[in-house]
Amino acid sequence: MSEIGASLLQLSGNYTNESNSFIPENLAIGYKTYNFNVNNELIINTSPIYDKIIPECIILSNNGYTHSLFFFQTYINPLTLNFTIDNKNILKIPLNLLWNLKSPEIFDNKLYLQIPFDMFFGKIHLCGLRDNVVKFSIEYSNIHLAGNNSMNIYQTQPINFELLCKTYSIDQRNIGSYVDISNNSIQQISSIQINVLNNINGHEFRIKTNRFRGFIKGFFIESTNIFNCLQEITFYTNQFIRFQYNPYLIKQKCIKINSDMIYFPFNFEEQYENNCNSSYRGSINFDGIESHFLNLKFLHRIPNIRIYALSKNNYTQIDGIFNIQNMYTSFNSYENFDSHNLTPIDELIRPFIQRDMPYVSQLLNRKIEEQDNNTCPIEQTEIQPNQRYMLCCKCQNCYNEYSIIEWFVRQNNSDLNKTCPTCREIWSDYNVYINNHF
């Protein structure tokens, strides 16, 4: 026996352990392409059934016709890849997110769109799901909201879909009674897209995030040239500022996916690619918050923006039984506006300021006048052009909108008469003003 083998024998203690240490897992890795049917559905439980698979690419083609990247990018905008087991929704991934996470490529008139499936789910253990229906499908969500021109694409340019999967074949003698990794996380993606035709105040967006459910560990934020144009990220939970990032913090703490997408983590020490439970340290349980919203400011007007929330479910798979805990169904919504005006949010002010009294608030344009004090006494910063503020009618102090709302919230909730933090007079004007003439 060699010196290395003798050393291994001394460490292992017997010939059996030494012998097993030299036997690798009998694992064959290959690739297989599955074709979606005419209904854009694909059932994996067909011969040959591999022990494990992991999807790597969605392939799009149009019977040999040549299409540009721009065509495909327009085509996939409202599409999602759905993964179900026995009609239970496991994953719903917007193809547009995949486009941004990894640049697609065209080979032989086919678009290859990569799927970081490890990030969302990991390997699919088919050997433990032989009696279950494992299905992928392409969903055309809310196509009618994409505009008439986009709708014509789907009617006149039908696309064929394929799924390229890495396959794993294991020596059947090594499987035995199948017990899977327990308490795995499935990373879910839900999204809200806002489209605006004529955005007067299009440099700022306020997005209600109450539709997102469960533990969220961050947002992907997508818009044209966002990495260079986004100037401020503010996230409010129960009327208090949880995060407020200026351009420096955006560059330092957010992750640039590409020029059109960034990832805004709630804990920048954890990676979005990691789908284990420990990667959700610092996440926020949206179910435990009464109200929350995201406010984004840009250098200039933009026509649309899309927010993807990264959340999770847990699952166990033991002896062919697949079970999901904390089931939250992902969604992808589209909101179209002629103009996305930043009106005061009733949910933000009414429950905390005027619980039992008549309450009127409007969004008005008002240039700060000479007799006004345009330095917010709370923040000690000047109210800038186009910035939103509230005004005390007694002392004429201008307050940053959310700073004064936080002051109101901190006051005794049983006292319906909120007061100015400077002059202590009863606050009477709940309008929100924009510092401009128009």
What's the rounded Cα separation, in Å, for the pair 411 and 100? Answer: 45
**Architecture of 343-438 per CATH?**
2-Layer Sandwich (3.30)
Beta carbons of 226 and 363 less than 8 angstroms apart: no
Average pLDDT, integer, range 138-159: 63
Name the band, by pLDDT with cuts 50, 70 and 90, for residue 355. very low
Long-range contacts of 385-389 (CB under 8 A, 24+ apart): 385/435, 385/436, 386/201, 386/203, 386/434, 386/435, 386/436, 387/434, 387/435, 388/342, 388/432, 388/433, 388/434, 388/435, 389/432, 389/433, 389/435
Helices (H) and strands (E) in the chain, counts: 10, 25
Asked if residue 83 has pLDDT above 70, the reply is: yes
Domain with CATH 2.70.9.20 in the chain: 185-337
Question: Given phi > 0 = left and psi -120 to 50 = alpha, else beta, which region is 209?
Answer: alpha
Beta carbons of 99 and 193 less than 8 angstroms apart: no
Asked if residue 329 has pLDDT above 90, the reply is: no
Name the band, by pLDDT with cuts 50, 70 and 90, for residue 172. low
Average pLDDT, integer, range 290-308: 88
CA atoms within 13 A on the CB side of 247: 8
Q: What is the pLDDT of residues 203-222, one digit of tens each?
A: 888 888 888 999 999 999 99
pLDDT at 205: 87
Nearest partner of 229 among 194, 264, 203, judged by Cα: 203
pLDDT at 357: 38
Name the band, by pLDDT with cuts 50, 70 and 90, for residue 341. low
pLDDT > 90: percent of the chain: 39
Beta carbons of 58 and 119 less than 8 angstroms apart: no
**Architecture of 27-178 per CATH?**
Distorted Sandwich (2.70)
Asked if residue 252 has pLDDT above 80, the reply is: yes
Average pLDDT, integer, range 16-41: 72
Q: Which segments of 276-357 does DSSP mark as H helices, in order?
A: 346-353
Asked if residue 171 has pLDDT above 90, the reply is: no
pLDDT at 282: 92
User: 338: helix, coil or strand?
Assistant: coil
Strand residues in 48-99 grouped as ranges (E)? 52-61, 79-85, 88-94
What's the rounded Cα separation, in Å, for the pair 1 and 127? Answer: 39
**What's the CATH superfamily of 185-337?**
Major capsid protein Vp54 (2.70.9.20)
Q: Tell me what percent of the chain is helix, strand and coil, each rounded to the nearest 5.
A: 20, 40, 40
Residue scoring higher pLDDT (402 or 394) = 394
Name the band, by pLDDT with cuts 50, 70 and 90, for residue 388. confident
pLDDT at 277: 86
What's the rounded Cα separation, in Å, for the pair 146 and 219? Answer: 23
Residues 6+ apart with CB under 8 A from 349: 359, 361, 405, 430
Average pLDDT, integer, range 144-159: 58
What's the rounded Cα separation, in Å, for the pair 231 and 227? Answer: 9
Domain with CATH 3.30.40 in the chain: 343-438
pLDDT at 21: 47
What's the rounded Cα separation, in Å, for the pair 324 and 330? Answer: 14
Say which range, 8-12, 191-195, 228-232, 250-254, has the weakest mean pLDDT: 8-12
At residue 426's C-alpha, the angle toward residues 422 and 428, to 5°, is: 110
pLDDT at 438: 62
The number of beta carbons lying within 10 Å of the beta carbon of residue 426 is: 13
Q: What is the H or E stretch that residue 9 is in?
A: helix 3-12
pTM for the complete prediction? 0.73
Beta carbons of 200 and 340 less than 8 angstroms apart: no
pLDDT at 9: 38
- Indicate the average pLDDT of the chain: 81
Q: Which segments of 32-137 does DSSP mark as H helices, in order?
A: 69-76, 95-101, 117-120
Residues 6+ apart with CB under 8 A from 371: 396
What's the rounded Cα separation, in Å, for the pair 373 and 404? Answer: 15
What's the rounded Cα separation, in Å, for the pair 105 and 161? Answer: 15
pLDDT at 307: 96
Nearest partner of 394 among 366, 418, 362, judged by Cα: 418
pLDDT at 293: 85
What's the rounded Cα separation, in Å, for the pair 106 and 111? Answer: 4
